[in-house]
Amino acid sequence: MEIISKSEFAELANFKSECSISIYLPTHRSGVEVNEQQDLIVFKNSLQQVRRSLQGKGYNNSQIDEILKPGTELLQDDSFWYNLSGGLGIFIAKGFFKTVKFPKAV
């Protein structure tokens, strides 16, 4: 079972940034959802929503690309998407990126 550690929780709770993004997704351990990469697609759609939101807040495309780069790179990591649990938290800010797998959907 994967559980967020106290130090990971403290790191996230104490992190401060002008722009902090948290994405929570229910994910799948196995099955057709994994084979068809449904979790990856949901995350990709979430990144697109975040992009639109940041544009609406006045960020230019260069700034947005820099902030979202680790998330965009995660889309290419097949081993990550084939080894998930019940839920996923993704935390993004300029110069900060962290993923946390949860045992159950969040």
Q: Quick one: three-class SS letters along the chain?
A: CCCCCHHHHHHHHHCCCCCEEEEEEECCCCCHHHHCCHHHHHHHHHHHHHHHHHHHCCCCHHHHHHHHHHHHHHCCCHHHHCCCCCEEEEEEECCEEEEEEECCCC
Q: 52-96: per-residue pLDDT in tens?
A: 999 999 999 999 999 999 999 999 999 999 889 889 999 999 999
pTM for this predicted structure: 0.86
